[in-house]
Structure formats: structure tokens, C-alpha cells
Amino acid sequence: MPALTSPDASPAPAPPGAGRYAPSPSGDLHLGNLRTALLAWLFARSTGRAFLLRVEDLDRVQEGSARRQLEDLEALGLDWDAEPLVQSERTAAYDDAVATLRARGLVYECYCTRREIQEAGSAPHGAPGAYPGTCRRLTRAQREERARERPAALRLAADRSAWTVRDRYAGEYTGAVDDVVLVRNDGRAAYNLAVVVDDAHQGVDQVVRGDDLLSSAPRQAYLAHLLGLAQPGYVHVPLALNREGRRLAKRDGAVTLRQLREAGVGAGDVVRLIAASIPLRPLPGPGDAGRSGARLPRTAGQMLEVFDPEALSREPWVLRDPIEEAARVAD
């Protein structure tokens, strides 16, 4: 006989889903990328979530980059719970999503160039970066004329101008919603569509990424809402900046794992450097507490032992000389 359950019993809480890291294979990961990957892994593992990877290869791809990125993540001690999802293999899923929106009258062709969009955004009363809906108002004759000039992208016909999401650090955040591109004029799914469809497919309910993408979250959450998909929770973390205060890039010198290795900085030293930037407290146990960086973690697993999301610095991580700074926190 099956066990009886009290009608007053509360349902068991739903198990946590997954976190993810989703780099574009356009080159080796730099220290800022590696820091975000480690944080995404730490947030997932510390909350009992699975951790997944996604190769976002719908744009520019450097041969061999995806493989090198996975090797670098493994070198830092990251693990993941399934084979990485590859976006270029997901065309049918994106097509289905567009068909769903089109059936509801929420898709239209857009023939605007980037220059036309920029000029519209710089005009009086134009919202910077937001698409003003130019092609939504075209007549059939105008569409046919524009179609002879260039292939069309597909845009979402948004029915509101703002959406609110919840971010762990920013709190309730309300941002602009506009007619985002769903499919580019080369026929490939656009970033905002692909990321929403793939997060839902992978069961991702926790998105950890750089805080430069916070303004994108309302657009993506709204699109998920229209598609009947669950909206994830967000954790936007500070970026890594170079000595000029600009976003860290590969051109800034010794900032990739391979470049640092060539300069004598090992993977464990890189983990220590990132741990100090969060900052993480020293590992418990014996150690020379008087030395700079003593007992800082050297692997992702050790980072997890002392990870405290409330201790995460809300300020950007400014890297003036990665080699010198790695030496400063070394044993």
C-alpha cells in the first residue's frame, strides 16, 4: 500500500537547476573571462546546482579556440556535468522559437543598417542603443523595395518598453525592452534569442556573468516570458579592467593562461590571483599568516571551501601588471 501523505503537507522544494559559463570561441580566455568562469562555477557548486558549458559559436570563431578554452578551464580545476552545448548545432531550436513568435504576430522583417540605427538613436528623443521600430511601420511596397537592397533581419515586435529582473547584487532592476533582433540578415540566430532558448533547454536557472550585461537581462527575460520559458535568476559580477580603466582585453599583454605560463606564472598562481581579487579568505589550517597571500586557494576546489558570495567585491578588478601581481600573492 502506498504511503499516505497529509493534505496539509507542503510540497518538497524544487531542486536547483544549473549554472553555466558560455564563452565565444574567438580566442583564448583572458584573466577577466577566467575570473567570471570561476565565479559561475563557485555560485553553481555552492548552491547544489549542476554546472554546464556552452560554446557560443554563432559569430566569429578562431580555429581551435573552443578546445583551448576548455583546457584552460580544466587547468584551473573546473569541472562540468555534461558535454558542452554547441550553438551552431541548435539551428532547429532557434527556428522553432521564431516560428512560435511569428504565429503570434510578434516578428517582422528589418532592413536597417547599423548606421541607420545609430543615427536614429542619436536623434532628438531617440533612446541610445534602442531600435526605434523603423521597419515595423513599413508598408508592403516599402518592404518590397528595401528587400531588393539587402536581405532582412527578423525583429521582435515588443509590446512593452521595460521589464524587471532580479539580480543578486543589483536587486530589482528595470531595463529597456525594444524590438531586438531575433535572426540576423545572414540567417543566423541572434545572441539574445539563442541565449534564451539555450538557457531554458539546459535547465539554467542561475546566470552568472559580467555586469556589463546587466542591461541585456530585461530584454532576455522578457523574450523568455513571450516564449513561455522560465526566467533565470541573475548574478552580474564586476568586470576586470586594464591599467587605463578600460575593459580587459587580450591585447593588454600577458593576460591569458598561456601567456602567463610563458612568463613563469602557473595555473595555481592564476587561481591565487583571482582568489585575492574576489577576495577569498585564506584556507583554514596551518600556514604562515604573516606572508602576503598565505594559504590562498590554488585550485577551484579549494576556492569552493572558502567561497562567500557576500564577500565578493562590487568594484571592478583593475589589473595593472598581472605577472607582478601574481608574484605578490604567490607562496
SS3 content of the chain, % helix, strand, coil (to 5): 40, 15, 45
Does 309 belong to an annotated binding site? no
- Cell digits of residue 121: 538613436
Does 108 belong to an annotated binding site? no
Does 22 belong to an annotated binding site? yes
Between the alpha carbon of residue 298 and those of residues 38, 236, 295, the distances in Å are: 12, 24, 8
Does 222 belong to an annotated binding site? no
Does 209 belong to an annotated binding site? yes
CA distance 327 to 331: 8
CA distance 281 to 30: 24
Does 120 belong to an annotated binding site? no
Q: Which residue type does 108 have?
A: Y
Does 45 belong to an annotated binding site? no
Sheet strand arrangement including 181-183: 107-110, 153-156, 181-183
Does 56 belong to an annotated binding site? yes
Give the angle subtended at the CA of 201 by the CAs of 198 and 203, to the nearest 5°.
105
Does 325 belong to an annotated binding site? no
Does 20 belong to an annotated binding site? yes
Does 71 belong to an annotated binding site? no
Three-state secondary-structure class, residue 318: strand
Does 24 belong to an annotated binding site? yes
Does 250 belong to an annotated binding site? yes
Enumerate the known binding-site residues for ATP: 250
Binding-site sequence positions for L-glutamate = 20-24, 56, 191, 209
| Binding positions for Zn(2+) | 110, 112, 131, 135
- Residue numbering of the annotated binding site: 20-24, 56, 110, 112, 131, 135, 191, 209, 250
